[in-house]
Amino acid sequence: MHWQVNRRQMLLASGVLLMNVPALDAREALQIPQGTGPLPPEWTTAPSIALWDGPPPGAPASAPVRSATLDPVFITGVARAEMRVFRPEKSNGRAVLTIPGGAYNFVSIRNEGTDVARVLTALGYTVFVLVYRLPGEGWAERWNVPLQDAQRAMRIVRARAQSYAIDPATVAVLGFSAGGHLAASLITASEEQVYAPRDVADSLDARPMCAGLIYPVIAASAPHTHGLSAETLLGPSPGADRIALRSPALHVDAATPPTFLVHALDDTAVPYPNSALFMDAMLAAGRPVETHYFEEGGHGFGIGPANAPAGQWPALFDAFLRRHAG
């Protein structure tokens, strides 16, 4: 049977349908997890592991002082680098070293620390949340300070793996924003000697099995870097050699661990080309990499908005880790 189509009626009907489609700006606001406020109770009760027995490398003459203006959840004045440990009810035998962000000016331990620990422990992971020293707080060789703590943390996790019933070979790292830069530096500079060994733990490998980089700072120079993060880490007017040293994408090689990347396309603080830089470097080196670009989420969304696709990244990261851990 031949049906004759009335073009005018079809267009009118289409117009009615289009008029009934909600405008994009009428969508429900993103439900971004709260990042501000007091220290979460689960943080204050979590066991702590000090990274350094005695003064850390490059200690300043006077200890750093905590900010009197920032919320307590944004940790500053880090004289004692540490990890807080969060254990699952039922362990899958694997661990994640989690590195919160904060532009290298503070450590954001709610949205990128305890929230992440809650989600990952529910999946069976033992989570070590790192509070690393901040490079602008008077430490010598400021560009090495966070990496010193990240290397040391990874080695301590492996040294104590048996007591936590985890496999030292499958420890992953997960970093956010400036913490993503630190995680990227760890996986590309794990063998760089940035501190003198302290004990037997420092004989262990600091390279993670896998990495997750969530809206990471990768570029250390314009046009894509986050200016405050780069300046705080590298100091004012750094030379080209120092910039290159802490540009992780330049150091990807055949040994760089499989890496999972997440970025929102509407991130104006740390634009998505940062993740693209690292992805392209991984592809050029023939290394496993997976990248998820989300339409919306902005910057600093932590475990992600509950009412948008970006909130699905923890489950995707879990699947990525399980695929690569065997």
Residue appearing with tokens 């010193």? 148
Q: Which is it for strands 259-264 and 48-50: parallel, antiparallel or unpaired?
A: unpaired
Q: What is the pLDDT of residue 221?
A: 87
Q: What is the pLDDT of residue 24?
A: 53
Q: What is the pLDDT of residue 324?
A: 95
Q: What is the pLDDT of residue 25?
A: 62
Q: What is the pLDDT of residue 26?
A: 76
CATH 3.40.50.1820 is right for the domain spanning 37-325: yes
| pLDDT < 70: residue spans in the chain | 1-25, 326
Q: What is the pLDDT of residue 17?
A: 38
DSSP annotation string for 206-241: ---S-EEEES----SSTTTS-HHHHHHHH-SS--HH
Tokens (6 digits) for 86:
């969060």
Cα distance between residue 192 and residue 97, in whole Å? 19
> Which residues neighbour 69 within 8 Å (Cβ) at sequence distance 6 or greater?
none
Q: What is the pLDDT of residue 12?
A: 34
Instruction: Give the Å distances, CA to CA, from 2 to 9, 14, 19, 227.
Output: 17, 22, 30, 65
Q: Is 37 exposed, middle or buried (0-12, 13-18, 19+ CB in 10 A)?
A: exposed
Domain spans of the chain, in order of start: 37-325
Q: What is the pLDDT of residue 272?
A: 97
H/E stretch holding 127: strand 126-131
Q: What is the pLDDT of residue 222?
A: 84
Q: Give pLDDT tens digits for 21-71.
A: 445 567 899 999 989 999 999 999 999 999 999 999 999 989 999 999 999
